[in-house]
A and B are shown apart, each in its own frame.
Chain A
Amino acid sequence: MPAPLFWIFVIFMLFFGVMVVVNRSPVASAMSLVVCFLGLAALYISLDAFFLGVIQILVYAGAVMVLFLFIIMLLDLKAEQRRRFNLIAMFGGIVVVVLFVKVLVDVCYGFQGGNAVFPAISHNVGHGDTWQVGMALFQQYKLPLQMIGALVVVASVGAVLLSKRELK
């Protein structure tokens, strides 16, 4: 991917990420989160991870965000009232974030291996990205895949149990 396109998608993603945090209305936050995840999917595709880009759109921008919106509508949340700022929490948050960004920039630009050029990959091996991920998943990672399946079953049963009106 050409560099200008990469930076456009990064700025797009970060802008809507910030909108998630600064929007007062929860519905507007959720919609910004969808757009942020679309930008992230574009970055995955720029990294030749087509399967993960599509999964990101289907699972996050589709399923997870519908769940969020559904809960926001169900709880009937109003836009947050403008409130007196908790100065200590505000100050602590900003200090932690600024220090974190400083450490991040230091580490990233001190990391020589990260300046490597984009390594070429062979696109003519006959199989796509999805085939490769599927082969890794079903040959090397059979047991973790089964465990993930069990985990999803347990999570959905747990969600149903938590939403029952009274627990026995």
Chain B
Amino acid sequence: MATLNDYLLASGLLFTVGFAGVLLRRNIIIIFMALELMLNAANLSLVGFSRFHTQAGLPDYNAQVLVFFIITVAAAEVAVGLAVIVALFRAKQTTHIENLNSLKF
């Protein structure tokens, strides 16, 4: 049987993959996808904690409600983020972050 540590390790590795994507890729849409990976890694650890913290023989459903809220907020965030990317593309005709540096110091 898998232990809580195994789930936390899987979640952390998924977070690392997303983090590497944010650092290494130059296309803003791929960076956005890697951000989604990191968000989902956090959700996986929350569900794991929920399952391993049983109360009266049931998983802790407060954590699952939190994950539900996070998924909802993430969906809203994706909608707004992609609208921003489309507006940015319309203004600059590119999605490469090397060409999107007008806010850079």
Contacts and interface: CB of A to CB of B under 8 A. Distances in A.
Interface in A17-66: 17-18, 20-21, 26, 29-30, 33, 36-37, 40, 43-44, 46-49, 51-52, 55-56, 59-60, 63-64
Interface string A59-95: 1100110011001101101001001000001101100
B contacts with A: majority SS: helix
Given A21-B24, A21-B25, A114-B8, A156 B79 contact: yes
Contacts of B86: 71, 74-75, 162-163
A162 B47 contact: no
A93 B20 contact: yes
B27 A77 contact: yes
Contacts, number: 228
Contacts of A59: 71, 75
B72 A158 contact: no
Nearest to A47: B51
B3 A60 contact: no
A43 B7 contact: yes
Contacts of B12: 100-101, 104, 108
A68 B81 CA distance: 10
B17, B54, B72, B73: which has the most chain A beta carbons within 10 Å?
A: B17
Contact of A121 (B6, B57, B69, B75): B57
Given A3-B2, A155-B80, 17 more contacts: A13-B14, A20-B17, A21-B34, A29-B33, A40-B14, A49-B59, A71-B82, A71-B85, A74-B86, A75-B85, A83-B26, A97-B20, A100-B12, A100-B19, A108-B5, A118-B51, A163-B87
12 contacts: A10-B6, A29-B33, A40-B14, A46-B2, A63-B75, A68-B33, A77-B27, A97-B19, A108-B8, A114-B8, A122-B57, A141-B65
Which 3 A-B residue pairs are closest in the complex by CB-CB distance?
A155-B76, A93-B23, A114-B5
